[in-house]
Chain A
Amino acid sequence: MAGEQVLIVEDNEKSMKLFRDVLTAKGYRTLEATTGGRAVELATEHGPDLVLMDVRLPDTDGVEALSRLRANERTASIPVLALTAQAMQGDHERFLATGFDGYISKPVDVLEFIGTVRKHCDGRDR
């Protein structure tokens, strides 16, 4: 099943560790970026199967990074999930409208998190 490569974009060290360990334990390969700019570089370089994008990032924010990925032919079709602690009302709809393929709110439910990642990776394979 696994072996897919997931690019995790997250500026919080401990959250990064959680996502990395969970995904690794489930057999995914991971790429890690703590800034939007680095995320675009890694995505362009490695062409991962899925990007988990934190929205609030120190430099280029997630929305800006998403539009750069979409603008590049190599990365345009990679599914990108918003990963954010901004769970205020209307955020969910807003992120989907921005062009994210899905939305995972922090704090995550680990089982839901794995399910969502799996769904998007599988959906891409088929």
Chain B
Amino acid sequence: MSDARAAPERADPVGKRRLPGPGDNALVRGVGRLPAKVHTKLLIAFVGTAVLVVAVGLLGLRVLGESNDRVGRLGALQERAFAYGKLQSQISDVRLLLTENPGQDFFDVNPGWVPTGRELNDIAIDQAVANALTRIPPATLVDRLGFVPPAEDRSVLRRIRAKIGQLSAVMREILEPANRRAPAEQQRRLRNRAHQVAIDLNRLATVLVNSTTAKTDDLIAQNASSYESSRNLFIGVAVGAIILALLLGFVLSWSVIGPIQRIDSRLAAIASGDFSGHVDVDNRDELGALGANVNRMNDELSRLYRELETTSRHKSEFLANMSHELRTPLNSIIGFSQVLRERMFGELNEKQEEYLDDILSSAHHLLSLINDVLDLSKVEAGQVELEVAPFSLRDALESGVVMVRERATIDGVQVALRADPDVDLVEGDERRIRQVIFNLLSNAVKFTPAGGAVDVSAAQVNGEVRVSVADTGPGLAPEDHERIFEEFQQTGAGVEQREGTGLGLALSKRLVELHGGRIWVDSELGKGSTFVFTLPARSSSNGR
């Protein structure tokens, strides 16, 4: 219980609460939790959709088939109706002809009346009746229909055939010459019989026609209602299939997209240094594995980050301790040597003084080495924070020149400063820039032979401030141009001088680059060297 409650909190790191999206739907998550590969799930979804399409198609075909069937039956019914109609009309003809004989209905209505003088006419009509009857040959009735009538029709047709047979027999009797001369009463009885049979025939034909008509009407009505229900079924199934396919697509795509979005936002948080959260992907497929790996990566990065912080703090403490521990013994070495050198406690002989000078110069060399190493370590550890403020580059250059002038004068080297009037205020860490200037100047003086010159100049070039220190020293071979900016990479001349730490230029390069500037040397062997460094010009007015 508490786990289920804790899970969403883990998923959403502090300050980056994600709105619940379709990916958080219970059904979507349920599909994600199915233990199958994404590939399998996609395959099932596509096959499922295809099956739905096929099912809708099959249903449509069935509906069409049924419709076609009904049209066929309707056609058969109409054929029957036509045949029966023709039969009825032939029977009707016979009956009409029989009625034409005045003896018939007349005798029915007036039984006492005896006809006179119309015998010839009667014979002609009777003959016509017999002829009409031959047009309905009872024996071939079924074959002539051209179709197989249903069982109930067949019994009626059988009775019609029987009646036609009866009528023919009666008509033959009427037309028998012997009978023509029979008494009127007998003839009337025969005609009466014939007429009775004709009425029965007509009734039977009407039954046939009416039943067929009723069946046709039934079928038409059935057809209409069948069409409606088939159409509704088809629309229902098609709509259902579409909804099902859409649902399938929705659920499946969000069961993939949801985790990807969650993983993405977690990765973004990790990229911005937030290791506090875990991504919550409960999929049991590739995405679940991905989520688990992201979480593992998060934990590992978090651990490394903490380790790095600890290491960095330790390094920082180590540097401070080193600085302290290395300087403390130097304090005694330099201090006591100076006390002796200043003769505070008595005179020195020449050798003693010389040795004390050696101790002092070595100790100072060691000190500058320590300072440079510590500075460089701090820069490399990223622990140098520039105290950036506008300062006068001109003043910094002037004080640099002042610092080396004594040594230059002793060595017989001319030092000149020429700064363009538009170079004055620059932005940077004044102490660090002074350190760079002093390093370049003292190098230049150190490597310039007596009678040579060191020219310092500053100018604005292409929106940056450019400081050059040119000397008339031995110059540098091309292969040394890059190398001298690396740690402990002095030139042959530098090594011979036994001066400097081999760290000054490396440190200067780091410091200039920290300011966003560049440093390089233009030099040729035997033609002196010009060290140049640049600083980005102040963004606003530069003091002029």
CA of A110 to CA of B387, assembled, Å: 31
Contact A89–B333 (Cβ < 8 Å) = no
User: Within 8 Å of chain B (Cβ to Cβ): is A97?
Assistant: no
Instruction: Please encode chain A, from 78 to 101, with 1 for each CB lying within 8 Å of some chain B CB and 0 for all others.
Output: 000000011111100000000000
Interface residues on A, range: 20 to 34
Nearest residue, chain B, Cβ from A90: B387
| A contact residues around B338 at 8 Å (CB) | 109-111
| B contact residues around A106 at 8 Å (CB) | 327-328, 330-331
Contact B332–A15 (Cβ < 8 Å) = yes
Contact A18–B342 (Cβ < 8 Å) = no
Contact B431–A56 (Cβ < 8 Å) = no
User: Within 8 Å of chain A (Cβ to Cβ): is B90?
Assistant: no
Contact A85–B331 (Cβ < 8 Å) = yes
CA of A70 to CA of B334, assembled, Å: 32
CA of A87 to CA of B328, assembled, Å: 11
| B contact residues around A90 at 8 Å (CB) | 387
Question: What DSSP secondary structure best describes chain B's contact surface?
Answer: helix
| A contact residues around B320 at 8 Å (CB) | 86, 88
CA of A5 to CA of B232, assembled, Å: 115
| B contact residues around A22 at 8 Å (CB) | 335, 339, 344
CA of A18 to CA of B337, assembled, Å: 10
Distance (Å) between the CB of B198 and the closest chain A CB? Answer: 138
Instruction: Please encode chain A, from 103 to 117, with 1 for each CB lying within 8 Å of some chain B CB and 0 for all others.
Output: 000111111000000
| A contact residues around B384 at 8 Å (CB) | 89
Distance (Å) between the CB of B405 and the closest chain A CB? Answer: 20
Contact A18–B331 (Cβ < 8 Å) = yes
Contact A18–B332 (Cβ < 8 Å) = yes
Nearest residue, chain B, Cβ from A83: B331
CA of A56 to CA of B325, assembled, Å: 11
A22-B339, A89-B431 given as contacts; is B323 within 8 A of A107 (CB)? Answer: no
User: Within 8 Å of chain A (Cβ to Cβ): is B374?
Assistant: yes
- 8 Å CB interface, B268-324 against A: 319-320, 323-324
| A contact residues around B344 at 8 Å (CB) | 21-22, 25
**Set A12, A25, A87, A108: member contacting B334, Cβ < 8 A:** A108
CA of A21 to CA of B504, assembled, Å: 36
- 8 Å CB interface, B319-362 against A: 319-320, 323-324, 327-336, 338-339, 342, 344-345
CA of A18 to CA of B378, assembled, Å: 31
User: Within 8 Å of chain B (Cβ to Cβ): is A119?
Assistant: no
Nearest residue, chain A, Cβ from B374: A88
User: Within 8 Å of chain B (Cβ to Cβ): is A14?
Assistant: yes
**Set A14, A21, A85, A110: member contacting B327, Cβ < 8 A:** A85
Contact B431–A108 (Cβ < 8 Å) = no
CA of A21 to CA of B344, assembled, Å: 10
Instruction: Please encode chain A, from 17 to 43, with 1 for each CB lying within 8 Å of some chain B CB and 0 for all others.
Output: 010011001000000000000000000
Nearest residue, chain A, Cβ from B384: A89
| B contact residues around A21 at 8 Å (CB) | 339, 344-345
| B contact residues around A14 at 8 Å (CB) | 329, 331-332
Contact A18–B324 (Cβ < 8 Å) = no
Contact A85–B324 (Cβ < 8 Å) = yes
CA of A102 to CA of B335, assembled, Å: 19
CA of A57 to CA of B331, assembled, Å: 16
User: Within 8 Å of chain A (Cβ to Cβ): is B31?
Assistant: no
- 8 Å CB interface, B374-395 against A: 374-375, 378, 384, 387
CA of A108 to CA of B330, assembled, Å: 9
Contact B387–A88 (Cβ < 8 Å) = no
CA of A23 to CA of B140, assembled, Å: 158
Contact B336–A18 (Cβ < 8 Å) = yes
Contact A18–B335 (Cβ < 8 Å) = yes
**Set B331, B371, B387: member contacting A15, Cβ < 8 A:** B331
Distance (Å) between the CB of A9 and the closest chain B CB? Answer: 15
A86-B320, A88-B378, A107-B363 given as contacts; is B345 within 8 A of A25 (CB)? Answer: yes
Distance (Å) between the CB of B339 and the closest chain A CB? Answer: 6
Nearest residue, chain B, Cβ from A109: B338
User: Within 8 Å of chain A (Cβ to Cβ): is B241?
Assistant: no
Contact B323–A88 (Cβ < 8 Å) = yes
User: Within 8 Å of chain A (Cβ to Cβ): is B373?
Assistant: no
Contact A107–B331 (Cβ < 8 Å) = yes
User: Within 8 Å of chain A (Cβ to Cβ): is B367?
Assistant: yes
| B contact residues around A110 at 8 Å (CB) | 334-335, 338-339, 342
**Set A18, A87, A108: member contacting B323, Cβ < 8 A:** A87
A56, A90, A107 — which one has the most chain B CB atoms within 10 A of its CB? A107
Interface residues of B (CB under 8 A from A): 319-320, 323-324, 327-336, 338-339, 342, 344-345, 363, 367, 371, 374-375, 378, 384, 387, 431
Report, nearest first, the 4 A-B pairs whose CB atoms are least far apart: A85-B327, A110-B338, A107-B331, A18-B335
Interface residues of A (CB under 8 A from B): 12, 14-15, 18, 21-22, 25, 56, 85-90, 106-111
23 contacts between A and B (CB under 8 A): A12-B331, A14-B331, A15-B328, A15-B332, A15-B335, A85-B327, A86-B323, A87-B323, A88-B319, A88-B323, A88-B374, A88-B378, A89-B375, A89-B378, A89-B431, A90-B387, A106-B328, A107-B331, A107-B333, A107-B335, A108-B335, A109-B334, A111-B342
Q: A18-B332, A108-B335 are in contact. List 5 more A-B contacts (CB 8 A).
A: A21-B339, A85-B323, A85-B328, A87-B327, A106-B328
